[in-house]
Structure 1
Amino acid sequence: MFNQLIPKLLSHKNIAVFSHVRPDGDCLGAQTALSLWLQKNGVEVSAFNEDDVPENLSWLTDFFPIQKPTNLENFDAFVVVDGNALHRFGDEAEKIADLDKPVYMIDHHPDPEDVFEEFVSREESSSTCELIYQLYEEYDIEQVDAAAAKAMFTGIVTDTGSFQFDSVSSETMRAGSELLRRGGFTPNEIAERLYASRPLRQLKLLSMALETITLHAGGDFSTISITQKMLEDTGCTKEDTEGFVQYPLSVEGVKACVLLREDGDRIKLSLRSQSPVDVNKWARQFNGGGHKKAAGAWHPGPLNKAIEEVIAVGKEQLDSEA
């Protein structure tokens, strides 16, 4: 899978690796493990993200530092992970296409942009970290050390809902098992860092958000809303809302849900499905996209109008698939 990409990556002296804005466990885990692999193989590497690393993932930066983008013209090449369109990586990343330098991509989302010199794109993979594991396996599995193993395991865990989603395959489980063995750790070490260290402010925000859960379309859809005032009252940031979207999806009978969060002058949409409802198609109606079971998009607002219009599109899709 990586036979064409690996020699191209290793032909460069210095590479910048980007993870997408609003970073999560998969993009940061993939970025960390790939940066460590490049470094092990003689490439100077810097890791960039335009947003701050969430608190529950900040320990990954102990393995490899993640900085704000700077001096991009000094790099020979660029790699983006866990996203296949440059706008997903922020304003600075969008400019790298104009630098006349190679841009590479490793990702598991559908429909990549046509801007990459070489890429690995495999939608069936559970996560980008599963793909990075395969890179290590194809090149030299002995290069997986504890830091790289923990980074990749983190990405697999977070992007599969702790191995619950239907994207999990036997290959996913094999990768997870091998990472545990080579990294010399147990799953609870990662789970505790991810899920057992929530600040009190986040739980207060979750309490407020749960009060907004509403059913639509006879219970087929649900929504959960987060306003700017909620964030201000609890002292939270948008990063503190990570994982909230799973709560409306867990309501009995719900086929798909939408989290709506006020973000400046627009509404961030996070869509999830546990049925044949394809939320990637749904999100594309609002300048977004993603996977069949998980996608993101934007609405110009206000919040009430966003709920009304987003649910209307969902109903149309559900009716068309009936």
Structure 2
Amino acid sequence: MIIDQILEWIQKYETIIIHRHVRPDPDALGSQGGLACLIRDNFPEKKVYTVGEMTDSLRFLLPMDTPDDAVYANALVIVCDTANRERISDTRFGKGARLIKIDHHPVVDSYGDPEWVKTSASSTSEMITSIYGTHPELKMTESAARLLFAGIVGDTGRFQFSNVTSETFLAAAALVKHPFDRQAFFNNLYKRSLSLARLNGYVLQHFTLTEEGVGFIKLPLDLVRSFNLESSDASMLVNCFSDVEHLKAWVLFSEEEDLIRVRLRSKGPVINRLAEVYHGGGHPLAAGATVHGWEEADRLISDLQAICRQ
């Protein structure tokens, strides 16, 4: 069983460094931090580091470590929630003695030995939670439960998305048995600044809904900055018009200095293959991509319209 293999490798190494993808979301941080807690709580003699850049809105979840390059010598490196190597935060992931991949995205880049990929899981945090279920001798702390719950909540949209299964609910039930402050967690996860609330209002007033059921909004960088925000802040609004009637799929374009980030979501039409065409990828109903100008953004919209038309 692959979980047993991963635990065997964890037991063999004194130093373990855990990575995840750039521009982290709750599942990236939840699975990274949840796995770190699992190791620290059950193997206290080991040195465990979590690395990667942080986004301000999620700093409340856990702090990041900044180990020196020398720490990677003879270390086990585990990458969570990252489909391809180019999206791994902190490029030192290849400097360790062994690399393990734990992910729930469709495989677009096979790396790691072993490589544990379970596309039927709602989140990588759900996968980490299942380690406890298959090994009842492992203890789970409140800190681990809080982080793993955060990852599941984030990737399921509070259990609203189609990736939720009975296993997802069972995992969540096991986590909430631990008395972490769920209300405080939700308050932190969904709070937004006044500036972001006002940009949210702009998006609701200006997004376009086509006859094919495609919704889209273009957010130039100068517009976002006029609200005293940055592109990474704007990305948090990808679902702000997701409940509009007749909407099948939607996309938020958020301009950065030298490219435009694309957040794609869908209620049915498969969009991850479209994302791959535009330098991205992801899940069938939730994906990300990159375009290099508004003309290319318009081509992506046209392609999305064709998919929804079918």
Q: Residues 171-210 of structure 1 correspond to what in structure 2 (within 5 A)?
A: 171-181=167-177, 183-185=178-180, 187-195=182-190, 197-210=191-204
Aligned to 2:83: 84
Q: Residues 1-322 of structure 1 correspond to what in structure 2 (within 5 A)?
A: 1-40=2-41, 41=43, 42-49=45-52, 51-55=53-57, 57-61=58-62, 65-68=63-66, 70-71=68-69, 73-74=72-73, 76-90=75-89, 92-93=90-91, 95-97=92-94, 99=95, 101-140=97-136, 142-181=138-177, 183-185=178-180, 187-195=182-190, 197-216=191-210, 218-275=211-268, 277-301=269-293, 303=294, 305-319=295-309, 322=310
Between stretches 118-127 and 34-43, larger displacement belongs to 34-43
Structure 2 unmatched runs, 5+: none
What amino acid sits opposite 1:307 in the alignment? A
1:106–1:121 CA contact under 8 A, matched in 2: yes
Shift of 1:84: 2.2
Shift of 1:14: 0.5
What amino acid sits opposite 1:43 in the alignment? K
What amino acid sits opposite 1:77 in the alignment? L
Secondary structure in structure 2 of the residue aligned to 1:10 = helix
Between stretches 135-144 and 262-271, larger displacement belongs to 135-144
> How many residues are paired up?
306
What amino acid sits opposite 1:52 in the alignment? M
TM, length-normalised to structure 1: 0.89
Shift of 1:190: 2.3
Structure 1 unmatched runs, 5+: none
Secondary structure in structure 2 of the residue aligned to 1:260 = strand
Cα 1:284–1:191, aligned 2, differ >3 Å: closer, same or farther?
same
What amino acid sits opposite 1:44 in the alignment? K
Cα 1:75–1:244, aligned 2, differ >3 Å: closer, same or farther?
farther
Shift of 1:263: 1.4
Q: Could you say what the CA RMSD is over the residues aligned between the two structures, in angstroms?
A: 1.9
Structure 1 residues 60-80: Cα deviation after superposition (integer angstroms, max 9, x where no partner): 22xxx3135642643512111
What amino acid sits opposite 2:299 in the alignment? E
1:205–1:230 CA contact under 8 A, matched in 2: no
Q: What percent identity do the matched residue pairs reach?
A: 28
- Counterparts of 2:24 and 2:152, CA distance in 1: 14
Between stretches 186-195 and 200-209, larger displacement belongs to 186-195
- Counterparts of 1:242 and 1:135, CA distance in 2: 32
- Counterparts of 2:68 and 2:238, CA distance in 1: 33
Shift of 1:187: 4.1
- Counterparts of 2:67 and 2:234, CA distance in 1: 25
Cα 1:268–1:3, aligned 2, differ >3 Å: closer, same or farther?
same
- Counterparts of 1:141 and 1:186, CA distance in 2: 25
- Counterparts of 1:192 and 1:249, CA distance in 2: 21
- Counterparts of 1:146 and 1:132, CA distance in 2: 15
Shift of 1:252: 0.9
Secondary structure in structure 1 of the residue aligned to 2:3 = coil
- Counterparts of 1:53 and 1:70, CA distance in 2: 21
Structure 1 residues 280-309: Cα deviation after superposition (integer angstroms, max 9, x where no partner): 1110110111001100010011x3x13311
Shift of 1:114: 2.4
Secondary structure in structure 2 of the residue aligned to 1:15 = strand
